[in-house]
Amino acid sequence: MNLCLSVYFDFRHQVFQIKVRDGNQIEKLKELSNILKLVSFALFPHFGTCQFPPEHPVNVVVPPASLELVKSFLESHGLEYSVSIKDLQALFDKQIKEMKFNRRKAKRDTNFNYGDYHSLTELYREMANIASEYPRVAKRLKIGNSFEKRPLYVLKFSTGKNKRPAIWLNHGIHAREWITQATGIWIARKIASDFSKNKPTITSILNKMDIFLMPVANPDGYVYSRTKNRSWRKNRSHKRFKKCVGVDLNRNWDVAFSKGTTSDDPCSEKYHGPNPHSEVEVQSVANFILNHGNFKSFIDIHSFSQLLMYPYGYINSMCPDCDELVSAPSPISDTQEILKPSVTIDLPIYIVSGNTIDWAYKNGIKYAFTFELRDNGTYGFELPADQIIPTALEIWLALEVIMVHVKDHLY
């Protein structure tokens, strides 16, 4: 298999990590973005609930022609920064080399390697394997097809009748966030394995609720990210007479559509699409959830920034249930300091509309959360494969806490 035949960045691109202390500095960053269209804020956190921890780094990709100008701008406006990645292409190349090595190793070992980044075909095959190995609890469902006609698969974990209270775990809506697809398939195996071993936590959850897990919510984009452009974010839909391809699937949901930091430019990586739910990938998930009618939690997994967030994202306001949403995962901090609830502070980074968890909350799914996994910008989206399992273990600790709270507080 050919991996990453071409990428968006050449080897001279760098990633700057900028500390933002107040609203004035945020405005300066917006000014910089407007002045230099080539400066990419692609490494901004993808969802912000409008509230953000003080001095949390903003990661900015800077092309070679703009390096000195960006440095001068930041220094002249008192913005503290460091160069977190000096050679972005080198990280791409290292990841490809690592994956090729793991491919050769996999040929000698028939077991699925959960410590590697896998192709869509391999992920889908492992979903089928999990359903086959654990037929008492796991079933692979097809809920539709992508724009390029790839199947949209979900694993259902259940011990009871249809339409029991349910939890939706969403991974990989942004193509380049490979750690999310990798942790998704690990979590799927973990759920099935723990239940088969009668582990008390997952058994108590599945005795009362169902879990639906979608490891790859954007299969077309994921394939494109692996084979053509490592930094690709959107899906791969296109319309006649449009020069650019793809919609940001986490801006396409029917909630405050086209507000905030979305774009009506089809060439933007944050293009929200022509209308809400215009994308079949979004339609398929939304229709399934609404037709089911008994989902109590929607958890969307992203990278990177190492945050735990909740509604709202489209207005600078707390949701009615935010006190409970903040307290629900409170034990997480006892085991993993990297997972932090996004609390209300006077530091709005940007408004994010048309996103998954605001849509879920708007449609009566109270326990709506977004996770941003590792890391804080050292590797960004190019997280080394040796961090997959440690990251999966971290998110699993958090998910267990949240799912138990949902199970114990059904409404």
**What residues does 155 pair with on adjacent strands?**
140, 213
Contact 233, 178 (CB under 8 A): no
**224: closest CA among 215, 214, 234, 216?**
234
Q: For the chain, give the number of residues.
A: 411
Question: Would you state the torsion angle of the CA atoms of residues 371, 375, 337, 204, taken in this order, to the nearest 10 degrees?
Answer: 40
Burial class (CB in 10 A: 0-12, 13-18, 19+), 392: buried
R_g over Cα of the chain? 20
The whole-angstrom separation of Cα 275 and Cα 91 is 36
Residue 372 annotated to the active site:
yes
The whole-angstrom separation of Cα 50 and Cα 344 is 8
Q: Which of 269, 281, 372, 400 is catalytic?
A: 372
Peptide bond into 375 cis (omega under 30): yes
The whole-angstrom separation of Cα 43 and Cα 218 is 19
Q: Which residue has the tokens 């809920």?
A: 143
- The number of angstroms, rounded, from the C-alpha of 176 to the middle of its chain's C-alpha atoms is 9
Q: Please report the beta strands in 29-101, taking only residues with DSSP state E, as ranges in sequence order.
A: 40-43, 57-62, 81-85
The whole-angstrom separation of Cα 244 and Cα 273 is 12
The whole-angstrom separation of Cα 40 and Cα 70 is 12
The whole-angstrom separation of Cα 74 and Cα 76 is 6
Active site residues per annotation: 372
